[in-house]
Chains A and B, each alone.
Chain A
Amino acid sequence: MVRALAAGIAVMIGFATAATTVEAQQGYQTYDQMTDAIQGIVGDSDVASVTSIGQSREGRDIWLITLADDGDLPAEDRPGVLMVGTLSGDLVSGSSISVGAVEWLIDQNGSNEEVTRLLSRNVVYVVPRLNPDGAEEFFGDVEWGRRGNAWDEDDDNDARMGEDGPNDLNGDGAITVMRVPDRSGDLILHPDDPRFMKEADPSAGESGTHRLYIEGTDDDGDGFIAEDGPGGVDLDRNFQHAYPYWEADAGRHMVSEPESRAIMDFLVERVNIAAMLTFGHSDNLVVPPNGQGNLDAPRTFDLIDWAAASNDGVFDVGVFPGQTNFGNLRQRGAQPGANNPPEQGQRPVMTFNGQDRPYFEAVSEAYREITGIERTGYNREAEGALFQFGYFQYGIPSFSTQGWGLPEAEGETFEQRYLNAMEAEGLDTWIEWQPFDHPTLGAVEIGGFYPNRTVGPPPAALPGLGAPHGEFIARLGGMLPNVRFVEATAEAIGGGLWKVDAVVENTGYFPTTIAHGQRNGAVDPTLVQIQIDADDIVSGDAKTARTNRIEGSGATAGYSWIIQGSAGQTIEITSRAMKGGRDTITVTLGGDR
């Protein structure tokens, strides 16, 4: 099984050889290829169906695969797992992994006990490609790491749309970076490895010799290079938690995009979704939240960050002094009114709840055990990410991963370690610096990382990643809360009165709500309702009893009512756990006392 993956990518690639025919087609897939693959896999399966939850800006359907076999409950009442791939256009791998996982789950249903239980007790929702328009750019002639969807954004706010994107100057099919000798720059060639740059440290007697730019020209003659490429909203920066306001790739506002709305409306409608896994640039699955409730530190590529920083001054151009003339009359300012303190009111929770941490650790352990992934590579700070919404606002266990691991390697900086690891695996992620005569900058060098190869697994690894992620989904589904009646009894206590007792049990691993889901009120309390006229309840619990949290692993909750009734009467008691299913039990009032 995939557990042998500790060695990392090399082993993942090994899986390609063992792949089935369909798996072999699951490299990076265009939208049409992916659609065909889904149709082929789902086909006439009676446990899977494909529907569309909406259209992208360019009109592509956003596919939803629903996996559910026959079971006690209708699918929409069962605890569900949602898996979402390719929120960012450069992570097309997420689609392949998701579809591969679907294929594995369908294949295993009926033979694998965990999967069989998953599809009869739970429901699995898979949106393999939330950002189909962005993903199509991945297959263009020039590789440039586009993450956004098809929205046009005037990135530099100069009333010209997308007028100065990157240019593949040396025709190598990739947008990399340019380094330019410039004594006003603050970078120097890295003394240990001149493929890389470092910031000059004046206190160590260093002074800058170079600047970095994105590969391109100043197409619009505004003095900046590649500051306004084809726009696009990176959907994994468009959601409601820790939203990066007013940044061009985050959209005009939270959930501004049709694709984001489609998944959000789906989540709102399917309140039975009890856990979520997304394939994204940030990780909380290989490395769970730490003791302070924070995610693993971001790791990014300095070369790319510094090149992008060459355009930082674009918004300073055209800011002139001078302000409105307010005259000489007195200005008082707003009146204090109620004079509330500035700190009044609640603030959003920004760290994972300590009570939830053991559950995240357990899931992380299961993920690492199943996939063999021990460490992650590039890790973006999660801002406006869907999985963060899932935990902080939707109130469920919610995870994000790139779906592959980075082998261990030497290196001072992350990008050095990364390149060394890739080279050790024989993976081609780097373009050596080449001299180029730039029209305005003169003699420059162009080189650096292939933009689409710095994130996500290489295509050869993909066929081997579906099965372990399918297995992980089955494991995760098995952890979801599952609330069922254990028993219900009725005891006559005389005078036409009965004492009715009922006990429910949560046989899942997760509690009926994680601590934060209770804290933020997103998860309803578990309701246990005795189906008699409220007037017939003499004492005890309310007709509708509410229990905020029932622990998992077999914890129970008991309810008790004193009611008036008549011997032989059958009474129904129902339960509803928002994330743990519904159940009904009946009890007949006996006549023995």
Chain B
Amino acid sequence: MRTKQTRRVVARSGARANARVLDRVAARFAVAATLAVGVSVAAAATPAVAQVTSGSDPEHELIFSWDRWLDSDELNERMEIMAEQWPEFLTLETIGQSWGGRDLKMMTINNPATGDELDKAAMFIESNVHGNEIQGGEVVIYTIWYLMENYDRIPEIRRLVDERVFYLIPSVNPDGRDWFMDETGSGGRTGHVPVDSDGDGLFDEDGPNDLNGNGVIEQIRKYVPGQGDFIIDPDNANGLRPVGPNERGDYILLGSEGLDDDGDGRVNEDPPGGYDPNRNYASDWQPNYVQGGSMNYPFELPEARAIEDFMVTKPNIAGSQSFHNTGGMILRGPGAAWYGDYPQADVRVYNELGENGERILPWYNYYVVWQGLYAVHGGQLDWANDGHGAVGFSNELWNGGQYYQSPLLREQQQDEDSPIGGGRGSYFFDDYVTFGRNYVEWAPFDHPVYGEVEMGGFRKLQGRVNPRFMSMELFHRNMAFTLYQADEMPLMQMGEAEVERVSGNTFRVRVPIRNDRLMPTILVRARQYNTVRPDILTLEGAEVLMAGWVDEHNFDGTVDRIDQAELDRILVRSGAPGRTTRWIEYLVQGSGSVTIEYSSQKGGTVSTTVNLN
């Protein structure tokens, strides 16, 4: 069983406070604190803390630590604390359960004072579909926290929160996360629906075993002088390297720490899970022999299904981000080239966002999944785009190049004879920057199957997860990219109408309809697949004789007549393009007030009322 050495340090104060003091207060209160007490900490702590009224940088309302990784309980606890702290904006829901019965928690950020949730474009942000790709969970927590803390401080943040809705899920694979965080974490990518990985009719019956009880699944090597494939790197006692053409090796590698649990003669051949939860989405889903780990059908996995069941109730979702690691990438679909690239107009929207993303996120590259990374069938990205008509990105958090960022050190890494070249860089970094925290020294072990061996190697957090002290920049810049994307979601506006009497009770009415953001209300692909409802332009209060788009507003020129049977309810299947204003012209007969409304699922609904006189 897992025991926590220290309680999480969570503190809050209604006013400005001294963070150091608060930390101590919170820690003291936290010793016996349950989650429920987390709330009372605030009540108790506030009077105990000296109010800080000086200082140029005001203290936060909620003080979270950002330099440790959280399991799913801790993520959920932070979500609950924030939901209580900012109830006017935040709503915390459980949208389903994982296979292992863990809640899938989803936070809505919405300012009800600026409109109903479904009338505003929403940004959907999820993370951690691969159990070992944990950082995105913290990015999600940071994003909620940052938006709330700064709502009153930064006008741009206030505007964004007022204009938009956010749906955020810190972990869509909490079973995988907790396996990675609280257990050994070996083979952490999968979810935990049992799968018969070795085809013997049994499920998950032979996973790795922590033989020496140190909480780490290590690598096993055996010393076989002169008969192995590896030798110890003469310049790095901890490192093994493959033998060259004329060398003889002293070691063989025997895989991960484990036993033949099911007595079939093989070791670790049917570990927990054994699939890829991000191949279980419904666009270009492919069977296992084409796309490994896809399971038997789309949304078979309870987690993917819960997310889909949630998303279909939110047609206002116009943007999507799915955080992964690793490699420093801003990925767009399609996942496979032969499924067909996105239409050119959609690609250009992605390009502008992706290229600016590279500027917001140094060390990150904007790629198309199949071209820049590898082919993915049935991933979340494609389903967000194709199934929901939302512009979808997936960021691969953390680039290993960030260990040695300067041009000088990058050059040295390429130098075989440098202490950080020849594959020695990660050892050097761990020795001198993280003080050996990420490494288990090789040590002898008497293995029941392999005999005298040695076990050791890097711990699970090495490599794919950034060092803790580098988290803040990663969190903030990735959040900044999603906020930029959210800001470029469609936003419909209607300008002032012009009314002109043509004769008698016949009037010409012109109204400017504007979307001044980058994204259109309907992607071309969404129109082709009919996955988004068309925009609908209605006129109430008079009879419409004719309607059309004004070619050139400044001239009394021609109008592109709209050839539809119902001119008081015009379907706009192609939506409102980005950064454009279009004028609609009606010829109407009637008197009194007339209301013109433009309704879109992803850019809101706007209307204006004019008087015919």
Contacts and interface: CB of A to CB of B under 8 A. Distances in A.
A245 B282 CA distance: 10
A392 B286 CA distance: 11
Given A253-B282, A268-B296, A345 B375 contact: yes
B371 A520 contact: no
Nearest to B332: A334
Interface stretch (B69-77, B362-370, B436-444, B605-613): B362-370
Contact of A264 (B296, B372, B564, B572): B296
A317 interface: yes
Contact of B349 (A246, A255, A324, A546): A324
A342 B352 contact: no
B366 A334 contact: yes
Interface string B529-565: 1110110100000000000010000000000100111
Interface in A379-401: 392-393
Nearest to B377: A345
B375 A337 contact: no
Nearest to A322: B577
Contacts of A521: 288-289
A292 interface: no
A320 B297 contact: no
Interface in B232-275: 260, 263-266
Given A318-B534, A344-B375, A324 B577 contact: yes
Contact of A332 (B289, B300, B351, B578): B351
A393 to B, nearest CB: 4
Given A268-B296, A318-B570, A336 B372 contact: yes
Interface SS, A side: loop
A543 interface: yes
Contacts of A112: none
Interface in A245-266: 245-246, 248, 252-256, 261, 264
A184 interface: no
Contacts of B577: 322-325
Contact of B338 (A268, A339, A342, A537): A342
B143 to A, nearest CB: 25
Contact of B564 (A248, A318, A342, A348): A318
A339 B290 contact: no
Contact of B520 (A223, A324, A338, A342): A324
B347 to A, nearest CB: 8
B425 interface: no
Contact of A252 (B387, B574, B579): B387
B349 A544 contact: no
B515 to A, nearest CB: 9
Interface string B566-589: 100011111001111010000000
B337 A342 contact: yes
B529 A255 contact: no
Given A320-B574, A520-B288, A338 B373 contact: yes
A338 B371 contact: yes
A93 to B, nearest CB: 27
A320 B264 contact: no
Interface in A304-329: 315, 317-320, 322-327
A543 B264 contact: yes
A246 B530 contact: yes
Contacts, number: 206
A331 B573 contact: no
Nearest to A333: B351
A336 B371 contact: yes
B572 A334 contact: no
A245 B372 contact: no
Nearest to A335: B365
Interface string B305-340: 000000010000000000000000100100011100
A240 interface: yes
A347 interface: yes
Given A324-B349, A325-B579, A343 B338 contact: yes
Interface SS, B side: loop
Nearest to A222: B565
A449 to B, nearest CB: 29
A224 to B, nearest CB: 8
B299 interface: yes
Contacts of B533: 154, 157, 159
Given A221-B566, A326-B352, A339 B372 contact: yes
A205 B340 CA distance: 42
B24 interface: no
Given A340-B374, A537-B265, A578-B199, A326 B348 contact: yes
A347 B199 contact: no
A438 B166 CA distance: 51
B200 interface: yes
A217 B397 CA distance: 56
Contacts of B370: 340, 342, 344
Interface string B383-426: 00001000000000000000000000000000000000000000
A165 interface: no
Contacts of A218: 565
Interface residues of B, number: 77
B200 A527 contact: yes
A58 interface: no
A157 B565 contact: no
A324 B576 CA distance: 8
Given A159-B536, A252-B387, A318-B574, A246 B580 contact: no
Given A317-B564, A318-B564, A318-B570, A255 B297 contact: yes
B265 A544 contact: yes
B13 to A, nearest CB: 45
A223 B201 CA distance: 58
A221 B565 contact: yes
A584 B527 CA distance: 59
A534 B352 CA distance: 60
Interface string B461-495: 00000000000000000000000000000000000
Contacts of B564: 222-223, 317-318
B62 interface: no
A228 to B, nearest CB: 12
Contacts of A193: none
Contacts of B354: 334
A218 B449 CA distance: 77
Contacts of B59: none
A158 B367 contact: no
Interface string B283-298: 1011111110000111
Contacts of A578: 199, 201
Contacts of A317: 563-564, 571, 573
B455 interface: no
A315 B371 contact: no
B365 A337 contact: yes
A246 B529 CA distance: 6
Interface in B513-527: 518-520, 527
Nearest to A238: B297
A337 B298 contact: no
B297 A347 contact: no
A368 interface: no
Interface in A203-218: 218
A-B pairs, 8 with minimum CB distance: A337-B372, A543-B265, A524-B199, A253-B282, A342-B337, A324-B578, A318-B571, A318-B573
Interface of A: 154, 157-159, 218, 221-223, 240, 245-246, 248, 252-256, 261, 264, 267-268, 271, 315, 317-320, 322-327, 331-340, 342-348, 392-393, 519-522, 524-525, 527, 529, 533-534, 537, 542-544, 546, 576, 578
Given A245-B529, A324-B519, 8 more contacts: A254-B297, A323-B580, A325-B579, A334-B367, A335-B367, A337-B368, A342-B371, A344-B375
23 contacts: A157-B530, A240-B298, A253-B387, A255-B300, A317-B564, A317-B573, A322-B549, A323-B580, A324-B518, A324-B520, A331-B351, A334-B350, A334-B351, A334-B368, A335-B365, A336-B367, A337-B371, A342-B370, A344-B337, A344-B375, A524-B201, A527-B200, A544-B265
